[in-house]
Amino acid sequence: MSGKITIFVLLLFLPISSTSSSDDVLLLSKNETLASPGDVFELGFFNPGKVSNWYLGIWLKQDPDRTALWVANRDHPLLGSHGTLRFFNSNLILFDRNNNHVWSTSIDGTVRRDVVVKLLKNGNLVVKEAASDTNQFLWQSFDFPTDSIFSGMKMRTGTGNKLKSWINPNDPSTGVHFLGVTEEISGFWFYEEQEYGTEINLVDLWNGYSFGDMPPIFQVEGDTSSQQQSLVMTTNHGKFSRLRLGPEGIYEVYTWFSKHREWNLSWSVNDSCFLISSCKSYSFCSAYTTPRCNCIEGFSQKLDITWTGCTRVTNMSCSQDRFTTLHNMKLPNVRDVQVSWSSDLQNCEENCLANCHCTAWFVESEEERHGKCVTWYGELEGMRNYTFGGHDLHVRIAPTDHGVVDKKTKNRNIIIGFSIGVSFFLLVSFIIFRFWKRKQKQSITIPEPIVTSQASIMNEVVISSKRHTLGDMKTEELPLMDFEAIAIATNTFSNTNKLGKGGFGIVYKGRLIDGKEIAVKRLSETSSQGTNEFENEVSLIARLQHINLVRLLGYCVNKGEKMLIYEYLENLSLDSHLFDKSRSAKLNWPLRFDIAKGIARGLLYLHQDSRFRIIHRDLKVSNVLLDKNMIPKISDFGMARIFGRDETEACTRKVVGTYGYMSPEYAMNGIFSVKSDVFSYGILLLEIISGKRTTGFYKSCDDLSLHGWVWRNWKEGKRLDIIDPIIKDSTSSSLVFKTHEALKCIHIGLLCVQDRAEDRPEMSSVMVMFGSETMILPEPKQPELCVGRGPLEPELSKQGDDEWTVNQISRSVIDAR
């Protein structure tokens, strides 16, 4: 929206007599606006999408985009910015450049004296008699909302003040979608309407605090006894918010962040269930299942090619029928519904059971609506299942169908189970056969490296053409590199080529004869990564190919030497950037966001998409490397473990990993699973956002842990304080910093570091959270544990700045504080 029209007020809140045309007063013309007390709202002209049409509207004065909260002449635009707003004969009237009447408040022509026009501090444009009560208005904009209502506005029944969508984002003309409130059936219903009543859909019933899973942004106002009630929009978590009906009929909640002067999307109805208008008879939609439409217990899918709903497994027997309860439901469409009052709410079920045509019942609690019993007759349609919110719906089923699921689903599950069983049997048979064949062959050991002349080494790295075995591990997929070639490439392991040092040994930079740069991980004799870990890393990473995993080029075994040769990554490890004052300034928000998503993609590949299910067990910032394009690559698979596809968790008495990144169940009980990696990823994500080391918290435990510190600030409403000031305050990054993305990442991080493994999402869900703009994330639970070092001090080996790694310690000595 254009910001070229500047603000100048000619006249504010003057009492006006409307007895003659001489009292005609000019309020606004070209390049002028009217501000509310406190400079919160502003009335003026704007042109959405920089088109030639101009409109009179209201917006937040701090909003640089002039996002319209209300539009006066939505269906009669000004052709150009030459319009004037006058106050004449007790009416606000908008004229175009030719002095034609474009819009007015249309107050009746009764003669009134001492009439004033005001833009109130809540954004309400009003016309009132100066001496009248404050809330008695001749006209107010709050009675005529356009596509939005915001904090302080009311949604009333029977007054026609429903939301009307824009035609498109650049045209505020009245669209085809409407959203209103009715109380004709039972309580407040949100309803959708298209084309002025050609299609009406009751969206959801007010449950005392919200509609469905919408945030609790409304409260009931008015006298219950007189039925003069309305819904008043409140703040969203203490912040100014608005509910907007979009051009496509999607309604969303936006929250205003004054610090960044932007509107952020905080909730939307737009999900896969919204796109499915109805799952038809006796079925409900769930955004978290595949397929989306599900039959109710006691019903099965109709025998059609396309989904046409469900039918009863067994016909009702009337008096002997039972009810199955569906939780967190959007109630069925209101068709053939009866509402009754009952002093004993338990009678609702009995009344429904007594009528053989009653198919479902629902009770509004006595505290909320004084005991209304709602009963449905006929087929049930239009239902959906929420993660939270909604209502308990009781659906009638035959007594023999209690616990009966969709027959097609049951048969499909039997077929899948049988297929899995056969596949598993064949796989086990193949493994046994291969093992037997292997035992028939003599194990081939790795030969001593051939000492060649420097000239031959300069030609190429010597690679054995034979198939090698490292213990029982076949390495035909990975070349055995010559020790002399590696020594020459690293300038005989010169200190000038040293890239870093850890508990495993030293990493050197090298350059092969063909010019290819490599990174050589040379394990020391006292390395925490022994022969088993070395074999493990070679066998695993040789068979893994993903853009977010480091690539292993070869290995070298020479007497007591064990070396791994990786691709060289120019930007080293993530921690060398994240915790360095000069380098961290270059990690702007889009870069950090991309790095976080890249690591998640790599971890998802290990857990789900690779040939094996792999648990990394030592994911941390120092084990994430960055290439020349700052693409993250997970490295160091020495501690990784392969899981079977049907294996969910394992237990070990040798706990390995790094403090600050270890999940509670792993640190204390030696239990690890994909959820252990999810915990480590959550800590890593919080480090990326905050710029703080998790190990720094473990040294003091003042705040228990990094995620404990994040949680405290999150619950105290200091969420922006969690974000690294460098990405918020630096000029280079603030231009592209997106607050809602950072807050979503913090939310995801807290979900990943929950104490109970079953509460943490899988990496597939994390990727969905990253990619969705409308998904409502569950509330994280408060972390309770802090794993202290205590008696483990002698067992720790220091790897770098404030980084401590556990080296194969018995879990029985771990101290949980």
124 and 40 in contact (C-beta within 8 Å)? no
DSSP secondary structure of 561-573: EEEEEEE--TT-B
Cis peptide before 77 (omega within 30 of 0): no
Tokens of 167: 């035609």
H or E element in which residue 391 lies: strand 391-397
Q: How far apart are CA 343 and CA 739, in angstroms?
A: 50
Three-class SS state of 79 = strand
301 and 400 in contact (C-beta within 8 Å)? no
618 and 657 in contact (C-beta within 8 Å)? yes
**DSSP assignment, residue 612?**
S
DSSP secondary structure of 223-288: ETTTTEEEEEE--BTTB-EEEEE-TTS-EEEEEEETTTTEEEEEEES-SHHHHSS---BTEEEETT
Phi then psi for residue 60, to 5 deg, are -70, 135
H or E element in which residue 199 lies: strand 199-205
Torsion, Cα 601 603 605 607, to 10 degrees, reads -140
Alpha helices in 716-792 (DSSP H): 725-729, 731-734, 739-752, 763-771
Catalytically active residues are: 618
Q: How far apart are CA 35 and CA 58, in angstroms?
A: 9
Strands 84-88 and 91-95: antiparallel
Residues in the chain: 817
Task: State the Cα angle at 198 between 194 and 199, rounded to 5°.
Answer: 60
- The conformational region for residue 39 under phi > 0 = left, psi -120 to 50 = alpha, else beta, is left
Would you give the distance in Å from CA 471 to the centre of its chain? 46
288 and 260 in contact (C-beta within 8 Å)? no
Torsion, Cα 409 410 415 417, to 10 degrees, reads 110
572 and 627 in contact (C-beta within 8 Å)? no
Q: What is the radius of gyration, based on Cα positions, of the chain?
A: 34
Q: Binding residue per annotation — 521?
A: yes
CA distances from 4 to 28, 52, 54, 81, 232 (A): 16, 13, 12, 10, 35
Q: How far apart are CA 343 and CA 125, in angstroms?
A: 45
Task: State the Cα angle at 515 between 509 and 517, rounded to 5°.
Answer: 25
- Residues contributing to the annotated binding site for ATP: 521
- Residues contributing to the annotated binding site: 521
